[in-house]
Amino acid sequence: MSDLADTAPAVPSPILAEPRPRVAAALADDAQLVAACRRGEARAMEMLYHQYKRRVFGMAHRIVGASDAEEVAQEVFVRVFRALDKFRGDSALSTWIYRLTVNAALSHLAKRGRRQEVSDETLGEMPAPPAVERDSGLAARIEAALGQLPAGYRAILVLHDVEGLSHEECAAILECRVGTCKSQLHKARARMRELLTPSIGART
């Protein structure tokens, strides 16, 4: 047995979804924060901004590119604060904000007629990853490949793989079925593998 184990090829093992602290507690916090923001409390508004700024800006950055990310993120936050009255709490606040972000980013691309690509200049403007990044070579290649994907694939990869959301959450944000979400993720990863070939795993 042990011989067999020694000679057997290493098979990539599945990684179970990491536990994601969320739901009930988050919903209660969201409700308080939303109520305070609706009353126009400046501190609450700033807190909400800081809580979501990286997620909103990160999504916008990876979908529309660095040059337009600030414009899109600003539009998203203005919409969030202006439309908080319409937020009914049916879903988590984060789901609602992600949905606004994805919609704003995709419609921004549509307006600019740039559904397919982010230009090389735009990629060049992307800030360098922080020094703590272990494999900056791979990260840079992944960011560059992301920029070449169709916008819809970019959205699902960022939501599921970068932000770590579940298929159910992604489906709620993208307003599609869970099955559609899974098949889109599969296609998006396959396209990324093609773009990153040969040998994604080769460390630099």
Give the residues lining the site for other proteins (CB under 8 A).
8-9, 11-12, 14-17, 46, 49, 53-54, 56-58, 61-62, 69-70, 73-74, 77-78, 81-82, 127, 129-130, 132-135, 138-139, 142-143, 157, 161-162, 164, 182, 185-186, 189-190, 192-193, 196-197, 199-201
User: Shortest distance, CB of residue 60 to other proteins, whole angstroms?
Assistant: 9
SS3 24: helix
Tell me if 143 sits within 8 A of 126, measured CB to CB.
yes
Q: Which of residues 35 and 200 has its CB atom nearest to other proteins in the complex?
A: 200
Tell me if 136 sits within 8 A of 127, measured CB to CB.
no
Tell me if 125 sits within 8 A of 67, measured CB to CB.
yes
Q: Which of residues 27 and 141 has its CB atom nearest to other proteins in the complex?
A: 141
Cα–Cα distance for residue pair 54/97, rounded to 1 Å: 12
Tell me if 73 sits within 8 A of 57, measured CB to CB.
yes
Element at 170 (helix H, strand E): helix 167-174
User: Shortest distance, CB of residue 148 to other proteins, whole angstroms?
Assistant: 14
User: Shortest distance, CB of residue 202 to other proteins, whole angstroms?
Assistant: 9
User: Shortest distance, CB of residue 151 to other proteins, whole angstroms?
Assistant: 16
